[in-house]
Amino acid sequence: MRRTGPAAAGLVAAVGAGTAYRLRGALPDSVLARFRRTNHAGEEVTLLEGAAFVLGASVGAVPSGPGPLLATTAAGLLGGVDDLAGDSSSKGLRGHLGALRHGRLTTGSAKVLGLAVSGLAAAALVDRRSRRAAGGHLSTCGPGAVGTLLGGAVIAGSANLVNLLDLRPGRALKASQLASVALLVRPSRPGAAAAGAALGAAAALLGPDLREEAMLGDTGANAAGALLGAAFVERSGTRGRFVALAVLTALTLASERVSFTQVIESTPGLRELDALGRRRR
């Protein structure tokens, strides 16, 4: 079966995300009010950008198969629950896991568990599709059970990492675009269509994000990260997934002790890229 190219997937995702975002104006004010939030600078923004990303990226990811599609939609839904019904009493991965240890299930800890389960299911679907495409069996084609477990963890970890970056206008979308471009260096390889979908959806929504009209929220950031994670899992074996998981784990643990914003703002190059296109104050 011929694979859909990343350009086509990106175009579909961009049109879908952009159209969904523009249609928000047709919603009644009672619905719009539920998605209004105040950002870091005190500006009123809408979280509906996240829903638009999920819709656009999901449509663009359809040709990639059920794995990337499941990763995107499940992460978006889990993030949406946290956005709309989130409990702010626990912050960060440590806080949510600490709440679980004390027998308290927060929306954040439920999301962590949900991302783990959906990530594993998505990785299993990716690996099954890969084996079918190669016409082989577990012993000769694709990662085994350990590789699939690692793939699930990579998808969940990627969803969490992009969410950690969604603290300033445009930051998470820029990071998603850079990761997508890295995954598109060899566009003929598996995962390119999923990466193209992530790139297209992110490009369509970067403008309103930078203008501080909207933000991804957990809905969009988790979905973006999960889709990128699935794209990586599509093109990697057990060793690559292990390395990726080690990097994701290190960055996640570092985020509990170090402010990513402080690191970015104190690093030449990163500081200018992060501020590019953003409103000056």
In this model, does residue 10 exceed pLDDT 80? yes
Q: Are 152 and 116 in contact (CB under 8 A)?
A: yes
Rounded to 10 deg, the angle between the 238-255 and 145-165 helix axes is 30
User: Which of 96, 115, 116, 118 has the alpha carbon at shortest distance from 105?
Assistant: 96
β-partners of residue 44 are: 38
- Per residue in 180-222, pLDDT (tens digit) is 999 998 878 889 999 999 999 999 999 999 999 999 999 999 9
Q: Residue 94: what pLDDT?
A: 65
Rg (CA), the chain: 18
β-partners of residue 37 are: 45
Buried b (16+ CB within 10 A) or exposed e, 183-194: bbeeeeebbbbb
DSSP state of 35: T
- Per residue in 19-42, pLDDT (tens digit) is 999 999 899 999 999 999 999 888
Q: Are 51 and 16 in contact (CB under 8 A)?
A: no
Residue 95 neighbours by CB under 8 Å, 6+ apart: 108
Q: Are 208 and 39 in contact (CB under 8 A)?
A: no
> Which position has the token pair 């500006």?
43
Q: Residue 140: what pLDDT?
A: 46
The percentage of residues in the chain with a pLDDT greater than 90, rounded to a whole number, is 77
CB-CB neighbours of 40 under 10 Å: 12
- Per residue in 113-162, pLDDT (tens digit) is 999 999 999 999 999 998 887 775 544 456 789 999 999 999 999 999 99
Q: Residue 143: what pLDDT?
A: 78
29 vs 95, residue with greater confidence:
29
CA 213 to CA 211: how far, in whole Å? 6
CA 96 to CA 84: how far, in whole Å? 17
Q: 44: part of which helix (H) or strand (E)?
A: strand 44-46
